[in-house]
């Protein structure tokens, strides 16, 4: 993992002191709420329906056990004992008092964390594949470049007042787990025909009220040019992105307006001016950062482990969990372990302070002290020996993080919705809770197979409904909660936006509707194909006919 | 409105403003430096140059650096407008004027110029600032002194951490 040096420590502490001064000016009345707003937003502090909410960055989803314990401490000391992991690899605390926020930030700084640029019209917390550095299919570890981007974008003097927020995601593997195609900039580490490693650059993807799949504007960018190329994209956007209408201010609108090819030319023109200039990384800096992401001291182990095989044979519940919650590790004898934060009837992404502490302990015991956060709002222990899986699973059962549902119907992404958010039209969390109860039976859940259900409480799409196999969007109809359903969305390397199936269904019928759609899939499924595959093969019609005949 | 001119070392001085901003329909003053809009510049370019006085152009936030890039040898000052503190286009325009087009005259921030943004502006190449308030010089010094670490090169002389790290290692 990256570790702060004296520069990083100084920077983050100075940022805390700057904010402490701003909070004091607000508390004394020297600043009005209007004047304070842009200042607090630059430190991830929102004012929500009931209270302030502090959004803390977990850069590229990587946490150490020490950092997790600090998050637990914050939840326990300054909040109501829990935190909420979000779709952008952040954690939100829903109940901090304004006067405490500078102290919270100081505690975070001690463990090399911050809340910088988790809101505001700036370059937001950069996100990555949660299996980075562990995945069997990875070309190179994307976190090295995420850390370079994190530093380059921190208080960038030119790009802190962009037309709108700006999100960058990076994947180092061909199987895209970071949803890069629905980001303002998506970066895919690729290998070209000459065997060199570089970036495929996508621009203008996004969700919200105008969902767009990003366009490739450069098939191969040599790695050494990443920062100058990003700077060129951001400069073109900063100068030409719309500022007259907040709903048309994202880069995707600019790219659509001029066309991806013309946009690429504009970037090229700017880039030619600055490439090989001072913005490129100086010699040695890449290697310095790379060294922090060296693999942990893995043991040399065989591919299989007899203890693991015996445990699987003897315990069906463990076996079910290993089917859904493990991913292939690059190192023989190791596995990537997903901890489900989607227990039946639970709130997606929530974790208590006790659970966070327990995860930190398990990370120390079984995963070199490393933890990851996924955009699906789950946690990951990235480096677990096969022989440790059974005791780890038992421990996870004990803290409620062993639900065998990763990638399945009850592994739902949901935004906070009307329970917390001042923008929401409808509730998300109770819908997710009810769906997970309906699909609680493990046999059925596993028989249905991979099914990504994503729920947003309003058109801003924080719950990623556009890219859900089943997407659910809350809308307000004359004061009543209704839900629009979309089918066929996909956030991966085969990215697609969901198709609207028809009129919205009422809050009382939305969970039945999901069950009906799953029924149609099971009826048409061939050869063990996934829901998404069946949908792509048979199209909307059979789903639509059955849904509206039934409801 | 007080005008702060950056004096190096993170300090700023309140200075008298010798420049006159001339509206599009106003006659030019007898003599002295004048700032005109882009429209007036484009219309009266030849006569303004012929007048021999110091000249400045004020660009609205949607007027790009490229529109006056060819005229820079005639200009001693460019004022860039921040119609709202949220409109950050002038940061990029400033950087292009300094780095791409090599403008070395006064680059002045005007409009909704907030103290909390002075450091960003300074880093992007601005060296003069119209800032409200009697304590503008103190606010300027304070704003520029809040950070000592920077993570990216910009249009200023501050060395980013990426450049300082190897120097420190070499010294050790």
A411-448: pLDDT as tens digits? 999 998 998 888 999 999 999 999 999 999 999 999 99
* DSSP symbols for A417-433: GGGT-SS-SS-SHHHHH
The C-alpha atoms of residue B119 and residue B10 are separated, in whole angstroms, by 9
Asked whether residue A40 is domain-assigned, the answer is yes
DSSP annotation string for chain B = --EEEE-STT-EEEE----EE--TTSPPPSSS-EEEEHHHHHHHHHHHHHT-S-EEEEE-TTS-GGGGGGGGGG-SEEEEEESSTT--HHHHHHHIIIIIS---SEEEEEES--GGGHHHHHHTT--EEE--STTHHHHHHHHHHS-S--SS--SSSPPPHHHHHHHHHHH-
Q: Is residue A117 part of a domain?
A: no
Residue appearing with tokens 């209408």: A245
Query: Is A123 part of any domain?
Result: no
CATH, residue A37:
3.30.70
Domain range enclosing A371:
306-399
Nearest neighbour of A158 by CB, restricted to B85, B91, B164: B91
Asked, for residue B96, whether it belongs to a domain, the answer is: yes
Identify whether B127 is part of a domain: yes
Residue with tokens 């420590």: A9
Considering the domain architecture, whether residues A43 and A80 belong to the same structural domain is answered as yes
Q: Which of A354, A371, A399 is the last residue of a domain?
A: A399
Q: For residues A376 and A513, state if they share a domain.
A: no
State which H helix or E strand residue A20 sits in: helix A6-27
- Strand bridging mode A185-191 / A168-171: parallel
Q: Report the pLDDT value the prediction gives residue B11, as an integer from 0 to 100.
A: 85
A543 pLDDT above the threshold of 80: yes
| Domain co-membership, A431 together with A535 | yes
Given this model, what pLDDT does residue A316 score? Answer: 95
- The reported pLDDT for the residue numbered B171 is 61
Show Cβ contacts of residue B110 under 8 Å, excluding neighbours closer than 6 positions: B58, B79, B80, B81, B82, B130
Residue A434 forms part of a structural domain: yes
Domain count, chain B: 1
Q: The domain spanning residue A143 has which CATH number?
A: 3.30.413.10
Structure tokens at B28: 């030019």
ipTM score:
0.97
- Does the residue A407 lie in any domain? no
Are residues A531 and A469 in contact, defined by beta-carbon separation less than 8 angstroms?
Answer: yes
Query: What does the mean pLDDT of chain A come to?
Result: 96
Q: Is residue B157 part of a domain?
A: no
Taking residues A271-277, what's their average pLDDT? 97
Provide the percentage of residues in chain A whose pLDDT is more than 90.
Answer: 95
pLDDT score at A102: 96
Question: Could you tell me if A496 and A389 lie in one domain?
Answer: no
B86: nearest CA partner in chain A: A161
Residue A298 has pLDDT above 90, yes or no: yes
The pLDDT tens digits of the residues spanning A226-270 come to 999 999 999 999 999 999 999 999 999 999 999 999 999 999 999
Please give the pLDDT value at position B103.
Answer: 98
Residues A43 and A186 both lie in one domain: no
- Residue A141, domain member (yes or no): yes
Q: Are residues A167 and A271 in the same domain?
A: yes
Task: Please list every residue in chain B whose beta carbon sits closer than 8 Å to the beta carbon of residue A22.
Answer: 116
For chain A, the domain total comes to: 4
For A395, residues 6+ apart whose C-beta sits below 8 A from its C-beta are A358, A362
The whole model's pTM is what? 0.96
Whether A7 sits inside 8 A of B161 (CB atoms) is yes
Does B158 reside within a domain? no
Tell me: do A421 and A362 sit in the same domain: no
- Among chain A, residues having any CB pair with chain B shorter than 8 Å are 5, 7-8, 10-11, 14-15, 17-18, 22, 38-39, 121, 151-162, 227, 235, 238-239, 243, 273-274, 277-279, 281-285, 288
Assigned domain for B52 exists: yes
Closest CA in chain B for residue A40? B116
What phi and psi values does residue B103 have, to the nearest 5 degrees? -70, 130
Domain that holds residue B98: 3-147
Query: Using beta carbons and an 8 Å cutoff, which residues of B are at the interface with A?
Result: 64, 85-89, 91-93, 95-96, 99-100, 116-117, 119-121, 123-124, 146-154, 161-166
**3-state SS, residue A535:** helix
Does residue A272 or residue B8 have the better pLDDT? A272
Distance from CA of B30 to the nearest CA of A (A): 37
**Facing A161 at nearest CB: one of B88, B161, B164:** B88
* Angstrom distance (rounded) from CA A112 to CA B160: 19
pLDDT in tens, A128-165: 999 999 999 999 999 999 999 999 999 999 999 999 99
Note whether residue A122 is domain-resident: no
Which CATH number fits the domain that encloses residue B41?
Answer: 3.20.20.70
All residues of chain B having their beta carbon less than 8 Å from the beta carbon of residue A284 are: 165-166
Among A239, A249, A274, most B C-beta atoms within 10 A, so best to mutate, is A239
pLDDT digits (tens), chain B, 172 positions: 889 999 877 788 999 999 999 999 999 999 999 999 999 999 999 999 999 999 999 999 999 999 999 999 999 999 999 999 999 999 999 999 999 999 999 999 999 998 889 999 999 999 999 998 888 889 899 999 999 999 999 999 999 999 999 887 666 5
A417 and A271 within one domain: no
Shared-domain flag, residues A386 and A419: no
| Residue A86, pLDDT score | 93
CATH (domain of A370): 3.90.480.20
Chain centroid offset of residue A448 CA = 24
In this structure, the answer to whether residues A510 and A542 fall within a common structural domain is yes
The alpha-carbon radius of gyration of chain A (Å, integer) is 23
Last residue of a domain, one of A260, A292, A324: A292
Residues of chain B found within 8 Å of residue A38, distances taken between Cβ atoms: 85-86, 116
Q: Quick check: A177 and A171 in contact, CB under 8 A?
A: yes
Would the pLDDT of A31 be above 90? Answer: no
Kindly state whether residues A168 and A86 are assigned to the same domain.
no
**Residue A112 in tokens:** 């090399």
Task: Look at residue A408 and tell me if it is in a domain.
Answer: no
Domain finish residue from A355, A371, A399: A399
Residues A168, A52, single domain; the answer is: no
């Amino acid at each position: 993992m990256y570790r702060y040096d004296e520069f990083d420590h100084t920077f983050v502490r100075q940022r805390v002191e700057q904010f402490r001064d701003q909070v004091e000016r607000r508390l004394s009345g020297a600043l009005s709420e209007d004047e304070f707003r842009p200042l607090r937003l630059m430190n991830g502090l929102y004012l929500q329906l009931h209270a302030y909410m502090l959004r803390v960055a977990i850069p590229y989803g990587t946490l150490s056990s020490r950092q997790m314990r600090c998050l637990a401490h914050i939840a326990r000391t300054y909040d109501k004992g829990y935190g909420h992991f979000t779709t952008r690899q952040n954690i939100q605390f829903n109940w901090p008092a304004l006067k405490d926020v500078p102290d919270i930030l100081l505690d975070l700084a001690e463990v090399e964390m911050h809340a910088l640029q988790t809101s505001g019209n700036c370059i937001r917390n950069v996100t990555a594949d949660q299996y980075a550095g562990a995945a069997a299919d990875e070309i190179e570890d994307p976190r090295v470049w995420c850390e370079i981007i994190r530093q380059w974008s921190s208080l960038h003097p030119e790009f802190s007042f962009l037309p709108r927020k700006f999100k960058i995601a990076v994947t180092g593997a061909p199987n895209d787990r970071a949803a890069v195609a629905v980001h303002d900039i998506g970066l895919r580490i690729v290998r070209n025909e000459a065997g060199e490693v570089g970036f495929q650059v996508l621009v203008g993807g996004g969700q919200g009220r105008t969902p767009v799949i990003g366009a490739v504007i450069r098939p191969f960018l040599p790695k050494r040019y990443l920062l100058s190329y990003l700077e060129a994209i951001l400069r073109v956007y900063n100068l030409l992105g719309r500022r007259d209408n907040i709903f048309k201010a994202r880069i995707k609108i600019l790219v659509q307006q001029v066309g991806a090819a013309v946009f690429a030319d504009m970037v090229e023109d700017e880039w030619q001016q600055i490439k090989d200039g001072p913005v490129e990384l100086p010699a040695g800096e890449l290697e310095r950062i790379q060294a922090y992401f060296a693999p942990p001291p893995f043991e040399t182990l065989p591919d299989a482990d007899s203890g693991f095989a015996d445990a699987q044979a003897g315990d069906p519940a463990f076996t079910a969990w290993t089917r859904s919650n493990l991913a292939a590790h690059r190192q023989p004898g190791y596995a990537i372990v997903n901890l489900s934060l989607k227990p039946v009837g639970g709130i997606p992404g929530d974790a208590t302070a006790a659970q966070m502490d327990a995860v930190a302990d398990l990370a120390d015991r079984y995963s070199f002290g490393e933890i990851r956060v996924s955009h699906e709002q789950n946690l990951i222990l990235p480096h677990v020996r096969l022989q440790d899986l059974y005791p780890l699973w038992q421990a996870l059962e004990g803290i409620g993080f062993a639900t065998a549902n990763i990638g399945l119907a009850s592994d739902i992404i949901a935004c906070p919705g009307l329970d917390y958010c001042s923008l929401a039209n409808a509730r998300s969390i109770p819908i997710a809770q009810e769906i997970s109860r309906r699909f609680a039976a493990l046999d059925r859940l596993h028989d249905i197979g991979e099914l990504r259900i994503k729920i947003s409480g309003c058109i801003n799409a924080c719950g990623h409904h556009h890219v859900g196999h089943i997407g659910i969007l809350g809308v307000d109809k004359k004061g009543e909660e209704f839900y629009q359903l979309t089918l066929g969305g996909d956030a991966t390397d085969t990215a697609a936006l969901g198709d609207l199936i028809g009129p919205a269904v009422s809050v009382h019928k939305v969970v039945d509707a999901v069950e009906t759609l799953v029924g149609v899939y099971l009826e048409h499924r061939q050869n063990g194909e996934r829901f998404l595959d069946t949908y792509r093969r048979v199209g909307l019609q059979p789903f639509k006919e059955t849904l509206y005949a039934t409801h | 409105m007080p005008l702060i001119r950056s004096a190096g070392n993170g300090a700023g001085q309140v200075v008298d403003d010798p420049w006159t901003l001339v509206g599009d329909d106003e006659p030019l003053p007898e003599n002295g430096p004048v700032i005109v809009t882009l429209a007036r510049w484009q219309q009266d370019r030849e006569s303004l140059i012929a007048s021999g006085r110091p000249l400045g152009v004020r660009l609205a936030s949607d007027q790009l650096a490229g529109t006056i890039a060819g005229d820079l040898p005639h200009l001693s000052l460019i004022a860039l407008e921040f119609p709202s503190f949220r409109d950050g286009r002038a940061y990029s325009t400033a950087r292009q004027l300094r780095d791409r087009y090599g403008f070395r005259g006064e680059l002045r921030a005007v409009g909704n110029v907030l103290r909390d943004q002075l450091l960003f502006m300074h880093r992007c190449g601005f060296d003069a600032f119209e800032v409200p308030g009697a304590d503008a010089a103190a606010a300027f010094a304070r704003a520029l002194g809040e950070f000592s670490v920077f993570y990216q090169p910009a249009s200023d002389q501050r060395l980013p951490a990426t450049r300082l790290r190897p120097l420190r290692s070499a010294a050790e």
